[in-house]
Chains A and B, each alone.
Chain A
């Protein structure tokens, strides 16, 4: 005997991953959209008349987000202008394909689109970065750079708010990951639905309580087209452990994902614990909790051939660097060319030549000819002479 839909009299064609109820197609669309609408109205995410940029990667979350926001904007009249914003990290074989999807989305939903690339902004593509640093810790570079790239692109489009397609599974993974890493500052902030209200553009997550499986189900039944492959550089990310744990948890108890988010929201930190305070970067003016923002430090490291600057514990890196300096002194002050080995920092002579000459930079980034670092200088990063004391070791 066919199962009946819970809400109407039609036959049910799916079981909701979130609550296990049997629903027909239209009632599922209704339930899904109503939940997103409630999330938006309860948190007062949108203000009438503002421009909202949707971070579009071409993947399932951003495709469905664009579709649903457009529909809800019309149905409930939020009165916002929607635009699409996409970031090109320069990963061949992965990003090119997903960018095609975004361009298709732009035509289908009739929304203006802007693409910003790491190449223009920083002078480095992810492919080049991975050649320098290897397959571990590359996610750090991509994440830090993408955050700034989104903000810069949004400023160019004169946008008031950014929305991203982070879903409930993502937030649950972040909570678990921050507990495992002991990052109290992030743990406190990661469950907030809107982050970054002072200084940078606010960014919100309307899909905060939406399960990943439901997003896929929605896209499947509505026949929305998206690009779905894992990033080729991500298999060793630490987040993978948290993700596997959450997938297993979901099998035992489907509500576990929302339970983790509830736990994250109920956490309270002891007053005595020191949390990072917000300031601005001295070089580029972006928000930062240290004198130099992470992107500047990482970029500095890449350009000087010290790709691990900014990754790992700074006192250990400094110790390694000092050891290497000592070794080089014994070997007789030979200037070594940096090789592309990923784990140790080789370029000891950069400590001595405080102002790195442009020619040295060229050997490190993978461009053969004219180094892009001059182009980067022209752009936005205000490159003063490199002063080691400013770099927060």
Chain B
């Protein structure tokens, strides 16, 4: 039973007591701030509390070993600056027990998505790079449009992180490297996605791809992200609203192992955004504000924006909301599929489209068919065929590949174009919604299309030799 029942007689008393009168709950000295509902802290105890939570999160998971290379994603915002500061403190000699891993920092410039001018982007990058360089760790600078032209690479253990050729520094940064062709492709893709929710979803997936790709190329085995609990609670609800219920556990857990070689960790997932902000104020941690696609947008322009408003509004009335949501997320888990063929091509999460006939997915497919195809073809409806979306349809014919030529026997295509159905079969439920808006699936980044084509070829291969395969579980990856 949620909702604060005894709220009526407790809250008036709470409002009268202001911070000046309260004492720290640990050391009884004068309190400087209040976290959660009633916990007052003085500055020293707060620092101890925060550092302890950070170290405990990393230590309890036993994932980060001594000497391991970890890539830290820095967005310039409050939470990632807080993370950076904590890492610095933890690695410095003064700390109680030194942290022992080797961080590298990366900043991804997303200015292309909101149409920022080149000068603005340069200014933002310079600011963030200055902050990153003060730490002394190797820094990398990437742009979101680079995600359009990634090459698939295998994990290299021996890559040299101190390879100075790729490390960026502020002195060298007089002009941003322009990836013009990729930027155009990205803008074309963004434009063809009509809803802002789809755009946000795509940006998130592309961002993740860049991080994973960089980690693979440079030999980092872990990626560390600065997501605080408020942001993760919003992410959880957004995932549920978009149909990503199967991946909720991965998106909000401490460790996310959707890619086989790289693990994504979130050490500050127990910190509320209020604690992060207080930490930054008390320690004068510098951060840069960079606008995103939904900054200053109208209310409920996208699902995430609406969910953020909902959660923060509810949190104001019922202070245990975010912790309830996080706890629910902790009790869930995602089944990890073995082969990469069972991963979504866009978000890398396990596919959740293998459903029994009585389920939401088949209900949706049926609704589309029954509203668009004439009743004659309903009799040959099966759960495998998706509706082509046309007016009068002949659903059997869609599986054949269409002829590209001009009807006289000449073949016109140099590369086979993927049909919409083929792309959809390699995506999870929520990513299918993403491309629903998309008019032309060939606008997707090339490496995704290549991945899907490869899967199609393998499926064809498998269907040819199916009768001779002994046990499904013995199929090689």
A residues touching B (Cβ–Cβ < 8 Å)?
6-8, 16, 18-19, 21, 23, 30-31, 34-35, 38-39, 42-43, 136-137, 140, 175-176, 178-182, 184, 187, 193, 209, 238, 241, 245, 248-249, 251-253, 255-256, 258-270, 273, 308, 311-313, 316, 320, 343-344
Min CB gap A210→B, angstroms = 9
Partner of A260 from B3, B240, B364, B373 at Cβ < 8 Å: B240
Contacts A180-B321, A249-B303, A268-B333: A136 and B327 contacting too (C-beta < 8 A)?
A: no
Other contacts beyond A7-B373, A263-B248, A270-B333: 12, CB < 8 A: A6-B371, A19-B368, A19-B372, A42-B357, A182-B327, A184-B331, A253-B195, A260-B241, A268-B332, A269-B332, A312-B6, A316-B6
Inter-subunit contact B324/A182 (CB<8 Å): yes
- Does B170 make an interface contact (CB < 8 A)? no
- Does B470 make an interface contact (CB < 8 A)? no
Min CB gap A36→B, angstroms = 10
Partner of B358 from A42, A176, A270 at Cβ < 8 Å: A42
Q: Which residue of B lies closest to A244 (CB)?
A: B310
Inter-subunit contact B241/A256 (CB<8 Å): yes
Residues of A within 8 A of B293 (CB): none
How far does the alpha carbon of A270 sit from the alpha carbon of B372 in the complex, in Å? 40
Residues of B within 8 A of A252 (CB): 195, 197, 300-303, 306
Residues of B within 8 A of A6 (CB): 371-372, 391
Residues of B within 8 A of A16 (CB): 371
B residues touching A (Cβ–Cβ < 8 Å)?
1-3, 5-6, 8-9, 195, 197, 236-237, 239-246, 248, 300-303, 306-307, 310, 314, 321, 324-325, 327-328, 331-335, 352, 355, 357-364, 366-368, 370-375, 378, 391, 429-430, 433
Residues of A within 8 A of B335 (CB): 268
Residues of B within 8 A of A269 (CB): 331-333
Partner of A273 from B2, B310, B331, B359 at Cβ < 8 Å: B331
Residues of A within 8 A of B366 (CB): 34-35, 38
Contacts A19-B371, A193-B358: A343 and B244 contacting too (C-beta < 8 A)?
A: no
Q: Which residue of A lies closest to B378 (CB)?
A: A34
Residues of A within 8 A of B370 (CB): 30-31, 34-35
Inter-subunit contact A265/B360 (CB<8 Å): yes
Minimum-distance CB pairs A-B, first 6: A263-B245, A259-B243, A266-B246, A262-B360, A209-B363, A43-B358
Inter-subunit contact B300/A248 (CB<8 Å): yes
Q: Which residue of B lies closest to A32 (CB)?
A: B370
Q: Could you list 6 examples of A-B contacts with CB < 8 Å? A: A136-B3, A184-B331, A259-B360, A265-B355, A267-B248, A270-B331
Min CB gap A306→B, angstroms = 14
Min CB gap B460→A, angstroms = 28
Inter-subunit contact A42/B430 (CB<8 Å): no
How far does the alpha carbon of A262 sit from the alpha carbon of B243 in the complex, in Å? 6
How far does the alpha carbon of A252 sit from the alpha carbon of B374 in the complex, in Å? 29
Min CB gap A344→B, angstroms = 8
Inter-subunit contact B237/A262 (CB<8 Å): no
How far does the alpha carbon of A368 sit from the alpha carbon of B325 in the complex, in Å? 46
Min CB gap A315→B, angstroms = 12
Residues of A within 8 A of B6 (CB): 312, 316, 320, 343
Residues of B within 8 A of A238 (CB): 2-3
Q: Which residue of A lies closest to B3 (CB)?
A: A238
Q: Which residue of A lies closest to B313 (CB)?
A: A241
Q: Which residue of B lies closest to A246 (CB)?
A: B241
How far does the alpha carbon of A320 sit from the alpha carbon of B236 in the complex, in Å? 35
Inter-subunit contact B239/A35 (CB<8 Å): no
Partner of B303 from A42, A136, A253 at Cβ < 8 Å: A253
Inter-subunit contact B303/A245 (CB<8 Å): no
Contacts A180-B2, A258-B364, A343-B8: A267 and B246 contacting too (C-beta < 8 A)?
A: yes
Inter-subunit contact B5/A137 (CB<8 Å): yes
Inter-subunit contact B391/A266 (CB<8 Å): no
How far does the alpha carbon of A252 sit from the alpha carbon of B303 in the complex, in Å? 7
How far does the alpha carbon of A268 sit from the alpha carbon of B31 in the complex, in Å? 43
Residues of B within 8 A of A249 (CB): 241, 303, 306
How far does the alpha carbon of A187 sit from the alpha carbon of B327 in the complex, in Å? 13
Inter-subunit contact A23/B371 (CB<8 Å): yes
Partner of A255 from B357, B364, B373 at Cβ < 8 Å: B364
How far does the alpha carbon of A163 sit from the alpha carbon of B361 in the complex, in Å? 22
Residues of B within 8 A of A343 (CB): 5-6, 8-9
Contacts A7-B374, A269-B332, A270-B333: A311 and B1 contacting too (C-beta < 8 A)?
A: yes
Contacts A23-B371, A266-B246: A312 and B1 contacting too (C-beta < 8 A)?
A: yes
Inter-subunit contact A176/B237 (CB<8 Å): yes
Inter-subunit contact A7/B375 (CB<8 Å): yes
Inter-subunit contact B363/A180 (CB<8 Å): no
Inter-subunit contact A259/B242 (CB<8 Å): yes
Inter-subunit contact A256/B363 (CB<8 Å): no
Residues of B within 8 A of A176 (CB): 237, 240
Residues of B within 8 A of A260 (CB): 240-241, 243, 245
How far does the alpha carbon of A193 sit from the alpha carbon of B236 in the complex, in Å? 24
How far does the alpha carbon of A221 sit from the alpha carbon of B359 in the complex, in Å? 28
Inter-subunit contact A256/B303 (CB<8 Å): yes
How far does the alpha carbon of A311 sit from the alpha carbon of B359 in the complex, in Å? 34
Which has the most chain A C-beta neighbours within 10 Å: B246, B332, B352? B332
Min CB gap A147→B, angstroms = 16
Residues of B within 8 A of A38 (CB): 363, 366
